[in-house]
Structure formats: C-alpha cells, structure tokens
Amino acid sequence: MASFSVRRQRGFTTIAMISFFALYLPIAVLVVYAFNAGESLSTLQGFSFRWFGKAAQNSEVIDASINSLKIAVTAAVIATFAATLAALATTRTAAYRGMTAKYAFLNLPLMVPEIVTAVALLIFFSRVKIWTGYTGLGYLIAAHTAFCIPFAYLPIRARLESMDLTLEKAAADLYATPIKAFRYVTLPLLWPGVIAGFMLAFVISLDDVVITEFVKSGGQDTLPTYMLGQIRRSTTPEINAISAVFLLLSIAAVTIFFFINQKRAQ
C-alpha cells in the first residue's frame, strides 16, 4: 500500500500557490513602494532610495527603533531563561497532580485575547506608577516578558520532549552531578530549542502594538506604535522603507539561525 502524501491530492498545488500568493503579494507591494520616488502609495513615480535616507535621518524613527530593540532583546532574554526553567520543571520530573494545570497556566497568555491582557496590565501598572513614581521602560519590559514566556516555552519544551534521556542517564551513571549533566549533556542538545524560543519571543516582542500602546508612557514609542501613529496622520513611503528594513533584518536573522543549526547538525 502506497504511503499517503498530501502533495498527491488533487488541487493541492493550486491551493498552495493561491495561499502563498495571498500571503506574500502584500509584502512584495510594500517593498516595491518603499523605492518609490514620489509620495504616493498607489502610483510608482520612479526608483529612489529617498525614503530610506529620510527614515535614517528621522530622530523619532531612530529613538523608536532603539526602544524596540532594547525592549525586545531584554524581554526575550528574560522570557527564554524563565521558559527554559519552566520547561525543565515540567519535563524532567515524574508526573504529579497539578502538572497539567501548571502547563495550562504557562500557556494561558496564548488563549487570553491580547486586549484583555493589555487592559489588565494598564490597570495594574497605573497603580504601580502612582505608588513608586517610576515611569521608565521597565513596565514595557515586564509586560513583554510576561506574554513572551509561552512563546519561548513551547519550542523549548518540544525540544526537551524529543531528546533521548539515555545520554542524561549515562552521565548520571558516570557520577556527574545534575548541574554538570545539564551543562555538558542537556544544554548542548537543548540549545537549538533555546535559540528558537529566543527568536520567537524576540519577534513577538518587536512586533507587538496592542499591549505596548496600553502600557507605555509618554515619549516611549516603539517602532510599531510610532508607525501606527504616522499612519493615523499621514502615510508616505517612509513607512514602507522602515518596514522593508525590518523585513530584511528578519530574513537575515532566520538565515543565520538556519545556518547555525545546519552547522551544529553536522
């Protein structure tokens, strides 16, 4: 009996091509108009790098980009660290009552509508701001860390569940302490999952608008909230240029991650 393959099903290629077309055509249009010489978003008026230069000289864009990177990197590092500990605690232990509830609790931010989380954080942090007088980026970092943890947790847990426990047991049989077994056996094998969790958390944080819009104080725009504000006022290909640069950075990050994984696999 021949093995089942979805690619052999009638209409699969057509549906796949339509899906890819619908997904990537808007992105392609966005990138094309980033090089428009004029100010129109509907009519090409020549080829130019004008809007890239204008964005690079825009102090508001630079400040918003720096804020975005600060928040995304810090939140992703903290979220990945917490997610790694949580994944170890829920996979490297015997099953016990309440484990399923803990797993559901860790993934709860994925189920709750983002607007609900945003309103809850707004109310909570508004009280903290009054009590402490602090209005810095710490609130945004804390908020982003909170909703990034489940995104980092899932690939790390998946990697742990797919790992062969034989090597860890062999290390224990050779009198390795739990810390040494983790450092020299578990962590090297887990590293691709950790990197995947970090990158996912980083992208989710970098991309967030709703929670950031509710939690941020005055003068704390990230790049997505800055772009949203610009679209509300007036839209020029400068927004396309900024989006194209971040698209390029995302592609570069994914490519680097792919080659790192390939090298480790060899």
C-beta atoms surrounding 162 within 10 Å: 9
**What single string gives the DSSP state of each residue in 92-141?**
SS---TTHHHHHHHHTHHHHS-HHHHHHHHHHHHHHHHHHH---STHHHH
Summarize the confidence of residues 51-66 as an average pLDDT: 88
Whether residue 48 is contained in a domain is answered as no
Whether residue 107 is contained in a domain is answered as yes
Whether residue 70 is contained in a domain is answered as yes
Q: Give the pLDDT score at 79.
A: 94
Give the angle subtended at the CA of 73 by the CAs of 53 and 240, to the nearest 5°. 30
d(CA 173, CA 184): 14
Whether residue 33 is contained in a domain is answered as no
How many independent structural domains does the chain possess? 1
Domain housing 261: 61-265
Q: How far apart are the first and last CA of the chain?
A: 34
Q: Give the pLDDT score at 74.
A: 95
Summarize the confidence of residues 178-189 as an average pLDDT: 81
CATH number at residue 233: 1.10.3720.10
100 or 221, greater pLDDT: 221
Whether residue 149 is contained in a domain is answered as yes
Is the model's pLDDT at 1 over the cut of 70?
Answer: no
Q: Give the pLDDT score at 266.
A: 57
Whether residue 25 is contained in a domain is answered as no
Whether residue 26 is contained in a domain is answered as no
Q: Give the pLDDT score at 192.
A: 84
Low-confidence winner among 6-10, 90-94, 238-242 (lowest mean pLDDT)? 6-10
Is the model's pLDDT at 169 over the cut of 80?
Answer: no
Q: 264 pLDDT band (50/70/90 cuts)?
A: low
Condensed to tens digits (0 to 9), the pLDDT of residues 13-50 reads 888 899 989 988 988 888 888 888 888 777 788 888 88
Q: What is the largest CA-CA distance in the chain?
A: 71
Q: Give the pLDDT score at 6.
A: 67
d(CA 34, CA 45): 11
Q: 4 pLDDT band (50/70/90 cuts)?
A: low
Whether residue 219 is contained in a domain is answered as yes
